[in-house]
């Protein structure tokens, strides 16, 4: 059964990877840029947004590659990384999920840029030099994590190959598998207070698990929901039209707090009310008041 599920998800995955009053949108509407994103390909366009804690630089990955962006200067430098396993190696950077775990330290997942040398799914990988070189941690050839969260001394990842939430308590060396409802999960978050309370968003609905992913139930609908949960009373969701909402009760109720001028793709929470948000073209907008007002931190 697992093999059949995996084959179905591989087919879907390859298609997808190739392809309030007083609120104010960040700097008003702007023409979508194709500098960092290739809009001729199918989405997802932006795969990850993080901040290097050592330099404050933005770390952005898209369907064109991995970019380091100076937070103050706005300069863009491509990070061309490589991964090796035994005698086989490949460059990596396009369609790359990553998460910063310390200055220069990253964990991630994705696909090799070159086909044939390595399996098409890299599983969990790690870098200690800012993404220049990567090593395999686990599940090489088996897993493709579209998002990774580290909380409660656990590593959580949505694996698009199995269509499952994978959870590790040993730093990602081994995982338990918790299958998610039908539909590709485009984002998920974990309750800051409860390691077994998870929210996941497919393209059209929001689902909840209160037992570590064993069982799920739908709780709301939405269009392209993106999530951030930095504090118990600060759960954020942004929808495809740019609307940003906040829940103070773990998703039971929502209040509209603001709007961004573009399609939200990836949150990076820096505090309960301080967040960055990458839009579909790689524009990065920031808020320091819980999403009420947004300013442009970087425009490609």
Please state, in angstroms and rounded to a whole number, the distance separating the CA atoms of residues 135 and 222: 37
DSSP label of 7 = H
- pLDDT one-digit tens code per residue, 15-55: 445 443 344 455 456 789 999 999 999 999 999 999 999 99
Q: Model-level pTM?
A: 0.91
Output the CA torsion 187→192→196→200 (10° steps): -10
State the chain's mean pLDDT as an integer.
Answer: 92
User: Which residues fall within 8 angstroms of residue 210, CB to CB, at 6 or more apart?
Assistant: 194, 196, 197
pLDDT of the residue at 21: 35
Q: Is the pLDDT of residue 11 over 50?
A: no
- pLDDT one-digit tens code per residue, 183-224: 999 999 999 999 999 999 999 999 999 999 999 999 999 999
What is the dotted CATH code of the domain comprising 2-19+33-298?
A: 2.120.10.30
pLDDT of the residue at 115: 86
Please state, in angstroms and rounded to a whole number, the distance separating the CA atoms of residues 192 and 227: 13
pLDDT of the residue at 245: 98
User: Which residues fall within 8 angstroms of residue 167, CB to CB, at 6 or more apart?
Assistant: 154, 155, 156, 175, 176, 178, 212, 213
Q: What is the mean pLDDT of residues 84-103?
A: 94
- pLDDT one-digit tens code per residue, 239-257: 999 999 999 999 999 999 9
pLDDT of the residue at 268: 98
DSSP codes, 202-215 = -SSEEEEESSTTSS
Q: How far is CA 29 from CA 226, 262, 263, 279, in A?
A: 20, 7, 11, 12
Q: Is the pLDDT of residue 3 over 60?
A: no
> If we measure between CA atoms, which residue out of 161, 133, 131 comes closest to residue 145?
161
């Amino acid at each position: 059964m697992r093999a059949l599920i995996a084959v179905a998800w591989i087919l879907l995955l390859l298609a997808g990877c190739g392809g309030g009053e007083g609120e104010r949108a960040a700097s008003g509407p702007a023409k979508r840029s194709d500098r960092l994103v290739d809009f001729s390909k199918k989405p997802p366009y932006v795969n990850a947004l993080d901040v290097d804690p050592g330099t404050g630089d933005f770390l952005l990955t898209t369907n064109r590659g991995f970019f380091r962006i100076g937070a103050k200067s706005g300069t863009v430098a491509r990070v061309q990384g490589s991964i090796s396993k035994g005698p086989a190696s490949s460059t990596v950077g396009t369609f790359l999920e990553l998460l910063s775990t310390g200055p220069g330290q990253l964990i991630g997942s994705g696909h090799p840029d070159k086909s044939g040398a390595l399996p098409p799914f890299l599983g969990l990988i790690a870098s200690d030099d800012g993404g220049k070189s990567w090593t395999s941690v686990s599940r090489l050839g088996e897993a493709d994590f579209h998002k990774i969260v580290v909380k409660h001394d656990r590593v959580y990842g949505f694996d698009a190959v199995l269509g499952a939430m994978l959870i590790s308590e040993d730093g990602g060396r081994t995982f338990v598998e918790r299958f998610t409802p039908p539909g590709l999960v485009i984002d998920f978050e974990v309750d800051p207070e409860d390691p077994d309370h998870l929210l996941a968003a497919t393209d059209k609905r929001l689902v909840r698990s209160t037992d570590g992913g064993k069982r799920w139930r739908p709780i709301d609908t939405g269009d392209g929901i993106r999530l951030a949960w930095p504090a118990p009373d600060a759960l954020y969701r942004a929808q495809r039209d740019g609307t940003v909402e906040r829940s103070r009760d773990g998703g039971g109720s929502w209040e509209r707090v603001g709007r961004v001028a573009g399609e939200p793709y990836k949150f990076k929470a820096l505090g309960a009310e301080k967040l960055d948000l990458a839009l579909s073209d790689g524009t990065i907008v920031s808020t320091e008041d819980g999403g009420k007002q947004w300013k442009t931190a970087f425009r490609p």
